[in-house]
Amino acid sequence: MIKSLLIANRGEIACRIIKTARRLGVRTVAVYSDADATALHVRMADEAVHIGPSPARESYLLGDRIIAAARATGAEAIHPGYGFLSENADFADAVVAAGLVWVGAPASSIRAMGLKDSAKALMIAAGVPVTPGYMGENQDPDHLRGEADAIGYPVLIKAVAGGGGKGMRKVDASADFLDMLASCQREAASSFGDAHVLIEKYILSPRHIEVQVFGDTHGDVVHLFERDCSLQRRHQKVIEEAPAPGMTPEVREAVCSAAVKAAKAVDYVGAGTIEFIADGTEGLRADRIWFMEMNTRLQVEHPVTEAVTGQDLVEWQLRVASGEPLPRRQDELAIDGWAMEARLYAENPTAGFLPSTGPLDRLRLPDDVRIDIGVYQGGEVTPFYDPMIAKLIVHAPTREAAAARLAAAAGEVEVWPVRTNAAFLARAAADGDFVAGRVDTGFIERGLDALVPTAEPSDAVKTAAASALIKPATGAAWTDLTGFRTNAPTQRQVSVSIAGSVYLAASAPDAGGHVASVAGRDILFLDGEAWPIGPGRVDGSGGGGAASDGAILSPMPGKVISVDVEKGQSVVRGQKLLTLEAMKMEHGMVAPIDGVVAALVAIAGTQVAEGVLLARIEKAD
């Protein structure tokens, strides 16, 4: 077994790897950038080495510095985690050339599966079914549009070097193709340094099914069954589960056998995932499931596979990298119960899911589920990396029980002042169609209005805020109004400020929520949302105050790519106002309310700092 391990990564995956390494008695070495000097993975590791400035291209993406850190600390092996250099074949070669153990797929396998077009050609040769599409070298825009026209709309444009939902665009009509292609290529060039794309037929009721495979250096390959990752937004996974709902033993055998065949075709070693797209219009059928791509690394969603199989996949990685055979034969693996994972992100769903950065003055997560996390209370979410805070993983005997447990866990999240998608996750996990297993990749887009909380507080929030302010436990003497009605219970009301607006709300003895003092402010946490509250003034109107005036602020430093509205224009809630490029992704900033563009400061092509006013929407009279 490897005795010492350097983790060439950060955040929750670095912490996850350290936990297993510590259990196995393996000494760990962390690497960190300026922004991560006090990060959790640095605190957890036995030793840590500074490798550069905050931007990833000047630190975590510099393989030579990481290898030098391994040599300086006496580490025997390097684990790349996921993202960054995990699927960089040149880095894998360099690690081996330096006399170190590479805890990952062979460089030859990474190269074979690294580009989506060549990987599909390889799978066709191996007899694995692939999605219809165009994978040619001709990248002339008019030629690509012609190919898309021939395939038939809708189609999906995909960067051949893409991943993580970046460099992908769905196109519904020929007239939209060239604009979508340009946007996709910009994002692909920025994220991967390669603007080359392929085109796939877009499946109208798609399910994202993936199979966990594992190979060793003795020629054996097994699968650890499938996961369903159909709940996505902008091609990024939101909730993953294992097993896949509606999967039959016959279809499972077909898709898992195809995955093993795919892995063997590239002499695969280590943890990998074969991703398939399924046409779910008639349920899961073996003849309607096609290979999409292979991820030659550990996946973000690997905990759900661990939960239902009882295996530690990081331990498997370390044992296989040490030359040991696979810990289990295929006939020794089985599925037990149901698992789900939700990705808790620092983002604001009510503002178009824009990333939210800043200090974590409050961070409280449920203690009765598995939490994979890479931050801590008092730490910070920076604009330099993926804004994931944690992963919430639940395991239960049935799918219905798992969904209920996940919804409850997301509702218990308390984070401030950074905004999160916790309430969105809770609503998604509790949605009737989701609980019933009626899911595909368009689930979130179709139900977005119901899944995304509004910018204004709900009646439940108002009641909880009023109840909290009336309670003596708050330690403040709020003004409450007692209404007397004949033959009716006394009604208690309080004027309360919620997120800067004033409401007159009635209290209730069973109002939910929890109020905590955070950095001198009272914050109400309810169903995954966070609301600053305080005493309001009674204005005699008998009603509540208005919601936010709709100020659109830049959530982080970025570049304004386009402006889609004009000053004075009427807009509706959810309408795109402008596009901001930040964190190597394009973010559409939308109107939080129906109204009029009262101010428009953003100018296409300009750089903006965090917190800068870009536009302001005011309610129409």
Question: For 499-529, what is the HEC assignment?
Answer: CCEEEEEECCCCCCCEEEEECCEEEEEECCE
What is the CB neighbour count within 10 angstroms for residue 574? 15
How many degrees, rounded to 5, is the angle at CA 273 between CA 272 and CA 275? Answer: 155
End-to-end CA distance of the chain: 71
Q: Are 429 and 239 in contact (CB under 8 A)?
A: yes
Amino acid at 588: G
123 membership: H or E segment, kind and range: helix 116-126
What is the CB neighbour count within 10 angstroms for residue 528? 23
* Cβ-proximal residues to 97 (8 Å cutoff; 6+ apart), any chain: none
| C-alpha distances out from residue 400 to 245, 395, 431, 448, Å | 11, 11, 11, 22
Q: Which of 213, 214, 217 is nearest to 325 (CA)?
A: 217
Instruction: Provide φ and ψ at 358, rounded to 5°.
Output: 135, -170
Q: Are 221 and 213 in contact (CB under 8 A)?
A: yes
Q: Are 368 and 421 in contact (CB under 8 A)?
A: no
* Cβ-proximal residues to 254 (8 Å cutoff; 6+ apart), any chain: 286, 289
Q: Are 115 and 41 in contact (CB under 8 A)?
A: no
Longest dimension (CA), the chain: 87
What is the CB neighbour count within 10 angstroms for residue 333? 18
For this structure, is 446 an active site residue? Answer: no
Catalytic residue among 27, 297, 399, 405: 297
Q: What are the catalytic residues?
A: 297
